[in-house]
Structure 1
Amino acid sequence: MRWLIVLAMMIIPGIVSLLYLRSAPHKPIDSIAVLPFLNASGDSDAEMLCDRITASLTLSLAKLPNLRVASRDAVMRYKSLQSDVRTVGHELGVRAVVQGSIERREDSYYIRAELNDAGSNELIWSQQYPLEADHVAAAVNEIIKDIADHIRFH
C-alpha cells in the first residue's frame, strides 16, 4: 500500500506539470513575415500570380493593428533559398511565417497557404484555395481573414 502512495506522489506532480504546460497560453503573434510564394507549376502566369499574392498579403497584413510585418524587400532573399521557418523567424525577428505556393491543374489555379510558428516550427494553420485569375483580390481577402483569425487565437 505504501508503494502506491509513493508512486502517486511521484506521478501526480508530473501530470499537473504536463497539464499546466499544455494549458499555458501561447505568446501572442505580434510579428510576421510573408515569404515569396512558390510557383509549383513553372509557368509564367503562375509566377506573376505568386508575386502579386505575396505583395498583396504583405500589404494587407501590414494594415492589421498590433502586427509588425517584415518588408517585402527583407523577405525577397528567401525567394530562391530553401530556409527553415525557425531560421527565417530568427533572421527577420518575427514570431510567425506565412508560406505558400500556386499550382496550376488543367485550367485552374490553386493557392496553398500556411502559417507557421517561427519559434517552434509548429504548423498553426494551412488551407488551399481555388483561384480565378481575375479574382485574386477576393482570394487574398479570404487568406487574410483566415490568417488574422489564427493569429488572434494562437
Structure 2
Amino acid sequence: MRKVKKKEKVYFPDPKFNDPLVTRFVNHIMKNGKKNIAYNIFYNAMNKIDIIKEKEEKSALEIWKEGLKNVTPHVEVISRRMGGSNIQVPAPISSNSKITKAMKLLISCASIRTEKTMANKLAYEIWDAFQEQGEAVKRKENIHKMAEANKAFSHFRF
C-alpha cells in the first residue's frame, strides 16, 4: 500500500450536550481560533431552534442531527483527466467525509442567508434542513444529480 491510513481524530465531547459531533461541528464554525464564539453561535442556534419548533417533540439536538443527516451527500464527482478532456467521475464518499461535507454544506449555506446574526442564520438553515428544504438540501441534491448524470463514467473510478 502506498498511502498510509491516517489516524482518526478524536474529538472531545462539548460541555453542554456532551456530544463529540457537536465539537466537530463547532470546529467547522470556528474562525481564527475563536472557539468560545463558535460555541456561543451553536448554543444560541440550538436555543433558537427550541423557540422555532412548535409541536415538534424532538429536542433541538435531535433536530440538528436529523437535519445533518438530510444534508449528507452519499456520492460526489471527482474530476479526472482522460485523454485531452476532464471528465466528472462519480465516486462514493467515506463515512467520515460524508459528515464533514454535510457540516460544511450546512455552515456555508447558513452564512449566505439574510438573517441578522449567524446564530439565527444557522438555526433557520438547520430547521430547513430538518424539513428537507432550504439551500443546503438543494446543494446536496445537485451533487447527486451531477453524479447521476455522469454515471456512464463510473467505470473510470480506479
With the length of structure 2 as denominator, give the TM-score of the two structures: 0.35
Higher helix share: 2
Q: Which has the larger radius of gyration?
A: 1
With the length of structure 1 as denominator, give the TM-score of the two structures: 0.35
